[in-house]
Amino acid sequence: MAGDRLTVNLDGLEDFATELESIRHGMDTARSWMNEFSGELGGREVDGAISHFESHWRDGRGRVDKNCEELIKMAKQAVESLRKADDDLTKSLRDSAEQGS
- Does residue 67 lie in a domain region? yes
pLDDT for position 7: 86
DSSP one-letter code for 9:
-
- Does residue 95 lie in a domain region? no
- Does residue 91 lie in a domain region? no
How many distinct structural domains can be found in the chain? 1
Q: Please state, in angstroms and rounded to a whole number, the distance separating the CA atoms of residues 55 and 48.
A: 10
C-beta atoms surrounding 24 within 10 Å: 19
- Does residue 82 lie in a domain region? yes
Name the phi and psi angles at 24, rounded to 5: -60, -45
Q: Helix (H) and strand (E) counts for the chain?
A: 2, 0
Query: What is the Cβ-side half-sphere exposure of residue 75, based on CA atoms within 13 angstroms?
Result: 19
Each residue's pLDDT expressed in tens, for the chain with a length of 101 residues: 457 788 889 999 999 999 999 988 888 777 666 667 667 777 788 878 877 877 777 778 888 889 999 999 999 999 999 999 999 999 999 988 888 76
Which helix (H) or strand (E) segment holds residue 37: the answer is none
pLDDT for position 35: 66
pLDDT for position 43: 75
CATH number of the domain where residue 47 is located = 1.10.287
- Does residue 75 lie in a domain region? yes
- Does residue 94 lie in a domain region? no
- Does residue 97 lie in a domain region? no
pLDDT for position 31: 67
pLDDT for position 29: 77
**Residue range(s) defining the domain that contains residue 70:** 9-86
